[in-house]
Amino acid sequence: MDQNRQGARASYVALAISFAVWVLLPSAVRRLNREAFAEFQAPALHLVGKSRDLATFWEKKSRSTEEMAAAGRDLARINAALEIKLNALEDIRRENVRLREITRYNVPVEYLSVVARVATRDSSSWWQRIVIRKGRNDGIRPGAPVVFGNTVVGRVTAVHLTTSEVDLVTSPGFRCTAYLEGDDQNHIVLVNGVAANSLGTAKARVSVIPRDYSMPAGQPARVFTTGMGGVFPSRLMLGYLDGGTYATQVGNFKESLLIPSRDLYNLQEVSVLVPLHQNPGEALMQGDQFQ
């Protein structure tokens, strides 16, 4: 009995000592520890993502040859149309470059696009964060915007060697400026994720809407990025204003909710837009050099 008691006491003491050591550890060591854990966890996350890809592959493999042939024909048509569009875009790009040279226009921010598969959704922040299978090795940096097509998905918050964490638009850690469709004066509004309840739907809040703003009739107003903050390119879709809560007035402005234009729960692939030049926000995220 005594031995048992002593053993239990020893384990409590060990726990207390471990806790005390953890608390007293310098923050750099703790950060290193967390980083090491993320790296340790990364292969498992890769495995989860790849297993899902494999499942999708076998699901597609089971389809009939006719189905595949029809899908192939459709794809060929889409490809042909896209190629024409690509050529047209290339012409526009060249014209843009020429005009910028003539007008000595200051190119805002240039990005390198890195395509990444989604490994998993992170449950630790109420599923408002995803983990992607690209990291520092692929040139991804913290703060980079993450998009799918023309739609903003979120923003990279942490980068590990082979994985990165992305805060979704609906995450409380996400914030950006936006324009509202139908606002001729282009007032900037604020889009901020809202902390979701455990079973609630994730949302983002659109605030600082001018009081005299009125939504275009017959359709929910689209919400676009401004491109002024130096992080997100301009005119990317963030989502739609939720008409139902539109009339809410907070303080001297109006406020509404944002309905994301993509189903953020079912993303499989995203593009990370890595700025060619580091912006100051990245420096802030990387360390304290100002005190």
Site of interaction with other proteins (CB under 8 A): 106-109, 143, 172-177, 187-188, 190, 192, 207-208, 210-211, 226, 228-232, 249-253, 277, 279-281, 283-285, 288, 290-291
Pick 45 or 180: Cβ nearer other proteins? 180
Pick 89 or 284: Cβ nearer other proteins? 284
d(CA 201, CA 282): 30
Burial category of 64 from C-beta neighbours within 10 Å (exposed 0-12, middle 13-18, buried 19 and up): exposed
For the CB of residue 32, give the shortest distance to other proteins in the complex, in Å: 21
Burial category of 83 from C-beta neighbours within 10 Å (exposed 0-12, middle 13-18, buried 19 and up): exposed
Assess contact for 241 and 220: CB atoms under 8 A: yes
Phi first, then psi, for residue 114 (nearest 5°) are -120, 115
Pick 48 or 188: Cβ nearer other proteins? 188
Distance of CA 225 to CAs 95, 143, 251, Å?
24, 15, 24
Pick 57 or 105: Cβ nearer other proteins? 105
Task: Please state, as a whole number, how many other Cβ atoms lie within 10 Å of the Cβ of residue 272.
Answer: 26
For the CB of residue 128, give the shortest distance to other proteins in the complex, in Å: 13
Pick 61 or 277: Cβ nearer other proteins? 277
Phi first, then psi, for residue 127 (nearest 5°) are 60, 20
Rg (CA), the chain: 24
For the CB of residue 266, give the shortest distance to other proteins in the complex, in Å: 25
For the CB of residue 229, give the shortest distance to other proteins in the complex, in Å: 3
For the CB of residue 135, give the shortest distance to other proteins in the complex, in Å: 21
